[in-house]
Amino acid sequence: MGFSFRPLDAEGPEELYAAFMEAFSDYAVPVTATFDDFRTMHRRRGVSYAASVGAYEGGKLAGFVFNGTGTWRGAPCAYDAGTGVLPAWRGRGLTAAMASASIETLGKLGFGSWLLEVLVGNEKAHRAYLKAGFRETRRFACPEGTVVGPEQPGLEAEARAGVRVLERAARDVAAFASWRDWEPSWQNSDESLARNPEPMTTLVAFEDGNGGRGATPGEPVGYLVATRKGSVAQLAVRPDRRRRGVGRALVAALASRTGGTVRYINVQSDDRATLGLLSSFGIGAGVEQREMELRLAGGREFP
């Protein structure tokens, strides 16, 4: 019996969640998402079930590609927010077949490119994406760990840096985008954060007037945006205030609010400063991911 491919908008979210959990039950990184986590993740990543593809055999869902939709580098783009094949249907070339079906679907919907991330070490998927025409654009590290005894170090870090770290609304950080040295990945982009249905912890470091460096009290000099569970989406320090402890004060302040839990999915791998900062707290490098992109028919050329 052959496979058929069609959009997932006729499926209920509960059925899609069950398929997701079954497909990722033996994933290299343990998946423990609740149903609410699953729905929040899809909203944040802009998943459209009309732009997503399911593979069916005998009326049963055998595999899926959840596609987010939005913009990337100023152009319409889709994002693979999760490709999975249920165990009973593995080894039959479904990943490649679903990629081909997605390319056709997304091209008809007018998207210029398709973006995804794949774990370094998942060579089977990597080869399938290369064969489909994707190219690697950059690599990410995914550090995570627990900061021991975070409360007091947080206060000490602020004092040493001459800053006060305060919580602010997420919208207040839009003016700080120029401080970043690289653009966040799709799931951490400004557009994705604006879609996120859950409150985020947004911390801003302000000069406290005791830095002794001619800084103006009350000026913002760094920011961090994270989930309430400690998953960092964005972290940046104003260029003229780097290497003075501002980033350390921000990470310590986050740890004091999460009981020490800090993780950062998708730090650009050549950002030695951020990776070194996290490592100084005992937050290890974790797994690596490849970001890959495919230009679809009618899309603009790569720069």
pLDDT band at 29 (very low <50, low <70, confident <90, very high): confident
Domain ranges of the chain: 4-138+290-295, 148-282
- For position 152, what pLDDT does the model report? 62
Residues 98 and 4: their CA atoms lie apart, in Å, by 10
Closest by CA position to 170, among listed 198, 197, 201: 201
**Which of the residue ranges 28-37, 90-99, 102-111, 269-278 would you say has the lowest mean pLDDT?**
28-37
Contacts 24+ apart (CB under 8 A), 107-112: 107/296, 107/297, 107/298, 109/51, 109/78, 110/76, 110/298, 111/51, 111/69, 111/76, 111/77, 111/78, 111/296, 111/299, 112/75, 112/76, 112/77, 112/295, 112/296, 112/298, 112/299, 112/300
CATH code: domain 4-138+290-295 is 3.40.630.30
Residue 280 CB coordination number (10 Å):
11
**Could you tell me which residues come within 8 angstroms of residue 109 by beta carbon, excluding any fewer than 6 positions away?**
51, 78
Beta-bridge partners for 141: 267, 288
Q: What is the pTM of this model?
A: 0.90
pLDDT band at 124 (very low <50, low <70, confident <90, very high): confident
Query: Is the pLDDT higher at 32 or at 245?
Result: 245
- CATH number 3.20.20.70 is the correct assignment for the domain at 148-282: no
